């Protein structure tokens, strides 16, 4: 597997309306990650999480204080397709092909503090019927931004 960052963005967002539990200012992060299957077909779950769940993309929010976050991932690519095994959807990337994954996250933290979004691991399978995931450890991150 070969990974490349095609685009990395971090900027401030402002929520409209009355927000009692979530701050009006939040960090918006975007990573476009190109994944190439070199020698085997790859099956990457089209899901994202911040814990030890059976997700494809594992992320970390690095910041000065605690935060809440939401994240999503989608993909596109010639030759890449979607398959479902049980309740999990996978992006199937045939050997020699590429897929572009678009990862978006919103971080709701403390105003005045800095936050950064990082992908720490990508779980994948060579065969969708395998019981365990293989892990590709990585450190793909955006720049830090201060919530003002």
Residues of the chain with pLDDT under 50: none
Q: What is the pLDDT of residues 123-132, one digit of tens each?
A: 999 998 888 9
The pair of structure tokens assigned to 120 is: 């720490």
Q: Quick one: residue 24, left, alpha or beta (phi over 0 = left, psi -120 to 50 = alpha)?
A: alpha
What's the domain range around 67?
Answer: 2-138
* CB 70 within 8 Å of CB 109: no
- Establish if 144 belongs to a structural domain: no
DSSP class of 79: T
Question: What's the pLDDT score for residue 112?
Answer: 84
d(CA 2, CA 10): 24
Return the structure tokens found at 47.
Answer: 């899901």
Q: What pLDDT score was predicted for residue 23? A: 60
25 contacts 147 by C-beta, under 8 angstroms? yes
Residue 50 lies in a domain: yes
Q: Does the residue 143 lie in any domain?
A: no
Per the structure, the count of domains in the chain is: 1
pTM of the model: 0.86
Q: Establish if 126 belongs to a structural domain.
A: yes
12, 24 in Cβ contact below 8 A? no
């Amino acid at each position: 597997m070969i990974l490349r960052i095609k685009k990395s963005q971090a900027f401030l967002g402002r929520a409209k309306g009355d927000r009692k539990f979530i701050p009006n200012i939040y960090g918006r992060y975007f990573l476009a990650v190109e994944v190439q299957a070199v020698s085997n077909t790859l099956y990457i779950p089209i899901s994202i999480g911040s814990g030890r769940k059976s997700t494809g993309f594992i992320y970390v929010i690095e910041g000065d204080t605690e935060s809440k976050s939401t994240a999503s991932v989608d993909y596109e690519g010639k030759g890449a397709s979607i398959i479902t095994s049980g309740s999990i959807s996978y992006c199937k990337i045939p050997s020699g092909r590429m897929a572009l994954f678009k990862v978006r996250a919103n971080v709701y933290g403390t105003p005045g503090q800095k936050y950064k979004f990082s992908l720490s691991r990508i779980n994948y399978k060579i065969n969708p019927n395998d019981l365990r995931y293989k892990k590709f450890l990585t450190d793909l991150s955006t720049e830090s931004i201060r919530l003002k």
